[in-house]
Amino acid sequence: MNNPNQTCKSFSNDYEKELEKMSPFEIKNQLIEMAKEDAKKSTHTFLNAGRGNPNWIATYPRKAFFLLGEWALQECLRVANDQVGIAGIPSKQNIADRFKQFVSSHKDCQGAKLLEETFEYLIQKGIDPNELALEWAEGVIGDQYPTPDRILRYTEILIQDYLSQEMRGCKENNIDKFDLFACEGGTAGMCYAFDSLQQNKLLQKGDCIALMTPIFTPYIEIPKLERFNFDVIEISANKVNQEGFHTWQYTDEEIDKLRDKRVKLLCLVNPSNPPSYTLSHHTIDRIVEIVKTDNPNLMIITDDVYGTFVKDFHSLMYELPENTLCVYSFSKYFGATGWRLAVIATHKNNIFDRMIKELPHTDKQALSKRYGSLSLTPEKLRFIDRLVADSRLVALNHTAGLSTPQQIQMSLFAAFALLDKQNAYKSKMQSMITSRLEALWKTTGFTLIPDELRAGYYSEIDIMVWAHKLYGEDFCNYLKTHYEPIDFVIRLAKETAIVLLNGDGFDGPLWSVRASLANLDEQSYLQIGTAIRKILDEYYTIYLSQK
């Protein structure tokens, strides 16, 4: 072990206080440099569990995508085949028959089965086979602007069914009640949602909004921007059990803050990031009761990217469909962060449209002018279509929309999950994440409490809870007095070549750290758990030496 007196004060408290003002994702870059430097000078292995980028990919939907591209290119070459590398665009006539023949001739390819079953799945809904095959051919080739610009017609059907399967738990719901806007990842969905809510006068600068914390940092940082400057109320997951352990759930008193009609918007990530717990049924029921009795105009943005890592996950989009805008990303579950695939979902009968109709006359006039280039009756333009237009500053609405190859890959991801009747992929994902989580906690010596509401994609560990349980209150007071909370992740990087993020950057407990369970193999998490405990014990050694 390094001499703790030499390593623990690598930076001044003043420097660390300044560092804590930054986003944890920006701090991460500095921690990576520290960790890499330590790895060069020692026998430590550089381990980055800071960002939640998966170290897996879903293969079958990708094999289907590339096989579909091969077929679509053949369709283009049928029309024209210039010797300098120029082909035509797909022809609709009898294209479905040619698609079936192609798939049949590639039965040995794993992607062919998914293409065949997805095609049949959609045809059984009464879709014209040639229309479907043409959308796929042009979509994967990318020879046309996205049409409709909001989302391709048959992509929308697949994603609607997928969301109904994955987001509503065991509850029966009509699956065709939501309109979708395909966008460039969940982060784009967040940006578009905040922008259009303000552009359409549903939120004004300085309005009161609520955040269910801890939460993904952009939901904290965006409202602080000068353009919005929202009055933010935090609803904290501060509930603890009898042993003093975090449950990462919400007390009734916290949820009841939503009864205040000044609160116009509620933002949540469900399951949460970084604690990675889904809302309890009690909390969902209480939010529903509050909306129905006290705050009927409460708008909700729910970011449900981690829902597929929880058994029978249930989204607020199916409990309060008219109040809720859902952002769902395919990036984590399918190992596709580089694809930038997500959708925004709004119910066909939603309060966003109703509240726009109820705006003062002067506001409606201004909005009619804003969207006047899109329609002869711009006042009738739905909120979901305003989102699309706003994503391209209205003037470029005619070129809006997620690229068609991206949409085709997204639809194949959705189809893969829909057709996996044995839930083989989901079971593997959930068990893999659980094994990594257990490995992380095993070598810390801390106790991991069983909880069916835990997704486990991340783990947030409150170091102060374990400092108190292991070494007592006087030691905790010593830590708080002599060190900044960020000192823990700095020491992890500088002494063990391990990168974790500071949990307080997500408005979590000050001395918490966030580890992603997606990045590394199980053995690496055993090392990370050991390092976490090593750093805590070094603080205690210093405490004893100075006592």
Q: How far apart are CA 52 and CA 157, in angstroms?
A: 29
Assess whether 481 and 340 both reside in one domain.
no
| Helices 110-123, 129-141: inter-axial angle, 10-degree rounding | 130
Contact 49, 519 (CB under 8 A): yes
C-alpha distances out from residue 436 to 74, 274, 530, Å: 44, 16, 14
Identify the domain containing residue 101 by its residue range. 59-144
Based on the domain organization, do 177 and 95 belong to the same domain? no
Tell me, what's the pLDDT at 495? Answer: 94
Residue 170 pLDDT grade (very low, low, confident, very high; cuts 50, 70, 90): low
Residue 322 shares a structural domain with residue 469: no
Q: pLDDT-derived band of residue 177, with 50, 70 and 90 as boundaries?
A: confident
Is the pLDDT at 8 greater than 60, yes or no?
A: no
Tell me which residue has tokens 């879709």. Answer: 127
> Where does 47-180 have alpha helices with state H?
59-79, 95-104, 110-123, 129-141, 153-167
31 and 109 together in one domain: no
- Same-domain check for residues 225 and 132: no
pLDDT band at 43 (very low <50, low <70, confident <90, very high): confident
In tens, the pLDDT along 90-102 reads 999 999 999 999 9
CA proximity to 180, closest of 150, 135, 154: 150
pLDDT at 18: 81
Selection from 263, 268, 390, 283 nearest residue 327 by Cα: 268
pLDDT digits (tens, 9 = 90+) for 505-541: 999 999 999 999 999 999 999 999 999 999 999 999 9
435 and 404 in a single domain? The answer is: no
3-state DSSP of 78-94? HHCEECCCEECCCCCCC
- DSSP assignment of 376-410: SSGGG--HHHHHHHHTTTTTTGGG-S--HHHHHHH
> In angstroms, rounded to a whole number, what is the distance separating the alpha carbons of residues 275 and 244?
16
Contact 192/389 with Cβ under 8 angstroms? no
- Phi, psi angle pair for 247, to nearest 5°: -100, -10
Q: Is the domain of 353 the same as that of 448?
A: no
Q: What pLDDT digit, counting tens, does each position of 369-390 carry?
A: 999 999 999 999 999 999 999 9
SS3 462: strand
Q: Tell me the pLDDT of the chain averaged across its residues.
A: 94
Residue 130 sits in a domain whose CATH number is 1.10.20.110
Task: Write phi, then psi, for 317 (nearest 5 degrees).
Answer: -65, -20
Residue finishing a domain among 402, 418, 434: 418
Residue 490 in contact with residue 10, Cβ under 8 Å?
A: yes
Three-state DSSP state, 244: coil
Number of domains in the chain: 3
Single out the residue in 144, 176, 205 at which a domain terminates: 144
One domain, residues 164 and 137: no
342-347 and 178-183 as β-strands: parallel, antiparallel, unpaired? antiparallel
Mean pLDDT within 289-293 = 98
What are 299's strand-pairing partners? 265
Tell me the percentage of the chain whose pLDDT exceeds 90.
88
The predicted structure's pLDDT at residue 507: 94
CATH number of the domain within which 518 lies: 3.90.1150.10
Instruction: Inform me whether the pLDDT recorded for 352 exceeds 70.
Output: yes
Q: Is residue 250 a contact partner of residue 237, using CB atoms and an 8 Å limit?
A: yes
Task: Give the mean model confidence (pLDDT) for residues 91-114.
Answer: 96
**Bridge partners of 267?**
211, 301
Is the predicted pLDDT of residue 226 greater than 50, yes or no? yes
Count of beta carbons in the 10 Å neighbourhood of residue 525: 25
pLDDT band at 9 (very low <50, low <70, confident <90, very high): very low
For the segment 465-506, what is each residue's pLDDT rounded down to a tens digit? Answer: 999 999 999 999 999 999 999 999 999 999 999 999 999 999
DSSP single-letter state for residue 488 = H
Cβ partners under 8 Å of residue 99, min gap 6: 71, 119, 133, 136, 137
**Whether residue 440 sits in one domain with residue 377:** no
The string of pLDDT tens digits covering residues 439-463 is: 999 999 999 999 999 999 999 999 9
Indicate the pairing of strand 299-303 with strand 324-329.
Answer: parallel
pLDDT above 70: residue 172: no
Distance of CA 365 to the CA centre of its chain: 36
The domain that holds 254 is classified in CATH as 3.40.640.10
Tell whether 273 and 298 lie within a shared domain.
yes
Q: Is the pLDDT of residue 174 over 90?
A: no
Least confident interval from 69-73, 79-83, 149-153, 210-214: 79-83
42, 132: one domain: no
pLDDT in tens, 265-280: 999 999 999 999 999 9
Boundary residue ending a domain (418, 445, 480): 418
pLDDT number for residue 175: 53
- Chain mean position to CA 227: 24
**If you average pLDDT over residues 183-205, what whole number do you get?**
97
* Res. 355: pLDDT tops 50: yes
Tokens 């006047």 label which residue? 372
Tokens at 425, concatenated:
């992929």
Residues 136 and 188 in one domain: no
Q: How far apart are CA 184 and CA 174, in angstroms?
A: 27
For the chain, how big is the Rg over CA atoms in Å?
Answer: 25
